Structure 1
Amino acid sequence: MFKFEDDYTYLGLFYTKPSGHTEKRCRKYLDIKKLNTKVSAPQLMVVMMNPGASRPLKGNDNQPVAVEAKPDKTQGQIVALMKKCSLEYVRVVNLSDLREPKSKIFYKNIDPQDSIFSPSNKADFDEIFIKCVPVLIACGVHNSLDPLVKLAITTIGNAKIFGLKKENCTNKYYHALPRFMEQRKSWVDNMAKQIINTKVYCP
Structure 2
Amino acid sequence: MRILYIEDDSQQASDVAAMVEREGLVLDHAGNGAHGLKALGGGDYDVVLLDRMLPDMSGIDIVSKMRAAGSEVPVLMVSALGRSENRVEGLDAGVDDYLAKPFAADELLARLRALHRRASGEGSSAIILFGDMECHVKARAAYRQGKHIALSPKEFELFRYFMQNGGEVVTRVMLLKDVWNLDFDPQTNVVDVNVGRLRRKLEQGFDSPVLETIWGSGYRLRAV
When normalised by structure 1's length, the TM-score is 0.38
The structure with higher relative contact order (CA 8 Å, sep 6+) is 1
When normalised by structure 2's length, the TM-score is 0.35
Structure with the largest fraction of helix? 2
Larger Rg: 2
